[in-house]
Amino acid sequence: MFHNPSASTYKHTNPSTNPSVSPFHRSLPDYAITPLIPLPDLAQQLGLGHILLKDESSRLGLPAFKILGASWAIQVALTKKCCLPITSTLHELGAAARKEGVELVTCTEGNWGRAVARMAKYLGVKAVIFVPDFMDEATQEKIRGEGATVVVVDGDYDFSIEKAKEEAEKAGGGMLVMDVSWEGYDEIPEYVVQGYITMLTETDAQLKDMDMKPVTHAIAAVGVGSWAQAVTSHYKSSSLAQTATVITVEPDTAASLKTSLEAGAITPISTGHTICNGMNCGTTSTTAWEVLRKGVDGSEERAVWSCDDDGVEEGV
């Protein structure tokens, strides 16, 4: 466990919401607001007023929220590359991207790569997805089922990042589309975070419709940190009358954020096996880090939880 007492007074001053994002998402195939599900039995067991779960098991036709960030990041990056307005349709953007010979390149532990591949399919462009060698064949097939080329690397997630970089550099129209940032690569990951905010603005509206008070505690999984960055920037926004406590959770075999927070700087780690393959990341995103190190605090004395696989299964 890690506790950051100063986070209780942290205010995120940069705008977390781009007004163009939600209209864009509403224009995509299969858009629907995902459910916000009350868990009254668990709330009673823990002695809390309310616990609610934002169910992202069906988002824009995919079983995860990652398509929110991938779609917006690709839309912004390609409209800039092709000199088109941000309001361009998928048909218009796809035609321009094909003319430019665009190839979308990324690496993934599952849902992110499938989301990038889905956008490539919408646009009619090629996608090359690098995956670590621990990814199961069923997950690989789901990505291939979107029409993407899947390349398995002999190493972990961080190694697959290096291979994706190499592919984007050598491909004539290669565009690296990542949800993790590093020195010299931060623009697209920031668009990803903007895309994720749609889930949070939906949640705020749903709470109002349910006649409930705003969020007091927000719990987010980590991975590379972009989703947790979106949660932290949104619920620690300086525009809020009262900010929320932010708790992050990661596997104990891939607790890269917790390790970095304890060290006071981004600290890459070697990850181990976990059933949470989508969170099996060894290095925290640089842009996420600047928000997380200041804004993650936690419930009571906990700010970052890392848990073993038995704990994950009990949670499920």
Q: 287-308 pLDDT, tens per residue?
A: 999 999 999 974 222 334 444 4
Is residue 50 situated within a structural domain? no
Is residue 283 domain-resident? no
Query: Within a domain: residue 89?
Result: yes
241 inside domain: no
Residue 112 maps to a domain = yes
Read off the CATH number of the domain in which 175 is found. Answer: 3.40.50.1100
Residue 43 lies in a domain: no
Mean confidence (pLDDT) of the chain: 88
- pLDDT in the model for residue 241: 87
Residue 305 confidence (pLDDT): 43
Domain presence at residue 85: yes
Structurally, the chain folds into a number of domains equal to: 1
From the list 273, 180, 268, the residue with the least C-alpha distance to 229 is 180
pLDDT at 307: 43
pLDDT of 256 reads 85
pLDDT value, residue 313: 45
pLDDT of residue 16: 66
Domain limits for position 70: 66-188
Instruction: Name residues of the chain where pLDDT drops below 70.
Output: 16, 171, 269-282, 298-316
What is the reported pLDDT for 252? Answer: 76
| Residue 209 in domain | no
Instruction: Please give the pLDDT value at position 115.
Output: 98
